Amino acid sequence: DGGITQSPKYLFRKEGQNVTLSCEQNLNHDAMYWYRQDPGQGLRLIYYSQIVNDFQKGDIAEGYSVSREKKESFPLTVTSAQKNPTAFYLCASSITGNGNEQFFGPGTRLTVL
Amino acid sequence: AQSVTQLDSQVPVFEEAPVELRCNYSSSVSVYLFWYVQYPNQGLQLLLKYLSGSTLVKGINGFEAEFNKSQTSFHLRKPSVHISDTAEYFCAVSDSGDYKLSFGAGTTVTVRA
């Protein structure tokens, strides 16, 4: 079955550590996205990528980094510079182009201890 | 970028009663409109979308939405809800020249027997 996988489902981090969240898709989509979800704030775009080896900052990119070395993969690193990293992180993908549905993964819940 | 307002953060409703979730967006330029549903600790699933054509859009699970360009609204309705409709619902908008989505803060629907 085609879809998006995110791992791990739950992640705990000590302050000052970098952590990397995995996102893989087998939908053959060109575009991929990372969102952060906090209670009462909806989804906010962190980074997005329209094509391999290219990505752009979203609305809240500070303290995060990404790479897009393969079409199927778009990992997100939460760095120690992110002041309040505890949140639910969602990865999505879509066919490049206007009006196309974004398909979402199951999410990773990150908690900073 | 679009600003999306979901007018109700919480909507309690009895089983088999109708429900309406309200969504307004900021710009009247050409837009694409989406409603997504999120069950606890899961990713988002598309309910329906409006790209063009008929302003009344039918989606999955008996949901429908009406696009009103003059009021910049895209309200979601279901004539008779089930317990299983308990979830969080997100309205999302993109400008026709941009496939990034702007999300509302979400509406939590709680269906009671």
3-class secondary-structure state, position A2: coil
Give the start-end residues of each E strand in chain B.
4-6, 10-14, 19-21, 23-25, 31-38, 44-50, 56-58, 64-68, 73-78, 87-95, 102-103, 107-112
pLDDT greater than 70 at residue B16: yes
A31 contact B CB<8A: yes
State the distance between the two ends of chain B, measured CA to CA, in whole angstroms: 40
- Tokens for A23? 């996102």
- In this structure, are residues A2 and A26 in contact, taking their beta carbons and an 8 Å threshold? yes
Instruction: Give the side-chain half-sphere CA count within 13 A for A49.
Output: 25
pLDDT(A1) > 80: no
Percent of chain A with pLDDT over 70: 97
Q: Which residue has the higher pLDDT, A10 or B97?
A: A10
pLDDT in tens, B29-85: 788 999 999 998 889 999 999 988 899 999 999 999 999 999 999 999 999 999 999
Chain A residues whose CB is inside 8 A of the B105 CB are 40-42
**What does DSSP assign to residue A105?**
-
Residue of B nearest to A46 (CA): B100
Contacts A106 to B, Cβ<8 Å: 42-43
Q: Per DSSP, what are the bridge partners of residue B45?
A: B37
Cα Rg, chain B, nearest whole Å: 13
Give the B window 13-42 contacts with A, CB below 8 Å: 32, 34, 36, 41-42
> Given CB atoms, is B44 within the 8 Å cutoff of chain A?
yes
Instruction: Answer yes or no: do B41 and A109 touch at CB < 8 A.
Output: yes
- Tens digits of residue pLDDT in A14-57: 988 999 999 999 999 999 999 999 988 889 999 999 999 999 99
Q: Which residues of B touch A59 (CB under 8 A)?
A: 1
Residue B1 has pLDDT above 90, yes or no: no
| Surface of A (50-89) touching B: CB under 8 A | 58-59, 88
A111 falls in which pLDDT band (50, 70, 90)?
very high
Chain B contact probe: residue of A51, A95, A102, A108 with most B CBs at under 10 A: A102
